[in-house]
Amino acid sequence: MVEIKTPEQIAKMREAGLVVAAVHAATREAAVPGATTRDLDEVSRKVLAEHGAKSNFLGYGGFPATICTSVNEVVVHGIPDEKTVLKDGDIISIDAGAIIDGWHGDAAYTAFVGTGHAPELVELSRVTEESMWAGLAAMKLGNRLVDISKAIESYIRRQPRPATGKYGIIEDYGGHGIGSEMHMDPHLLNYVTRKRGKGPKLVPGFCLAIEPMVSLGTAQTDVLEDNWTVVTTDGSWSSHWEHSVALTEEGPLVLTAVDGGKAKLAEYGITAAPDPLG
């Protein structure tokens, strides 16, 4: 069953989404050479407290932090700690969430630590982020879930191959419904498979977290002994981008983007829905 939200509930999710955006802004500034991933989690905790929000990551299945910090070959679910010190040239994907009055927000981004990054790493992040926006632009009334998967995969497949390796669309992880819980039906693949069919039709009140994960090599992953940290099997570096989005009668509203997705959706000829918070 897909949870369909009322306009009032979407407004609460927008509040949570803006807290997530604030966490992103603060952690991006703090992701510098010499910082530990635990330092970034402390920044997140401070922002959540300042906004009177709860963490939807902390304690989820026993997860011990308020954000996931995934460095280089770590795809998702990296646990912040004092041993992981960011170095010049690293990339880090930070996944963050927040709860306001029982309603959830969830989003992720990839940041470059310091300078001197190889062009293929810069392009990897760009391709991953733009594929996310292609998926967000497919959040249209009358479309089906598979249309989002198709838009994400098609964008990635159209890009020139990197100088080394290839773009691997991570197979074991994808997007999801979001609302009164962080992870809800439906599961959203970042590629198309006949086995999954077309999926449900997109209607007003439909909310998703759209999150492509792409590597510079394999699509396959392993989970480390901590039962959380997901790494590529070939050690290739990866990027992760995510936004939560609500579909309204007036179009999509990107709940975790400061401008509601207005600028980027316009590039796809899509008008973002009005912000319920003004």
Provide the pLDDT for residue 196.
67
| pLDDT in the model for residue 164 | 80
Question: In angstroms, rounded to a whole number, what is the distance separating the alpha carbons of residues 74 and 230?
Answer: 6
Find, among 79, 74, 110, the residue nearest to 221 by Cα. 74
Tens-digit pLDDT profile for the chain (278 aa)?
899 999 999 999 999 999 999 999 999 999 999 999 999 999 999 999 999 999 999 999 999 999 999 999 999 999 999 999 999 999 999 999 999 999 999 999 999 999 989 999 999 999 999 999 999 999 999 999 999 999 999 999 999 999 888 999 999 999 999 999 999 999 999 999 877 678 999 999 999 999 999 999 999 999 999 999 999 999 999 999 999 999 999 999 999 999 999 999 999 999 999 999 99
CB 248 within 8 A of CB 265: no
What is residue 250's predicted lDDT score, i.e. its pLDDT? Answer: 97
Beta strands across the sheet bearing 221-223: 74-76, 230-232, 221-223
Planar angle of CA 104, 225, 36, nearest 5 degrees: 65
pTM: 0.97
**Confidence at residue 232, expressed as pLDDT on a 0 to 100 scale:** 98
User: Is residue 24 helix, strand or coil?
Assistant: helix
Residues 6+ apart with CB under 8 A from 178: 13, 104, 105, 106, 184, 207, 208, 209, 244
Which residues are CB-contacts of 76 (< 8 A; sequence separation ≥ 6)?
68, 70, 93, 95, 173, 213, 230, 240
Q: Which CATH architecture has domain 7-267?
A: Alpha-Beta Complex (3.90)
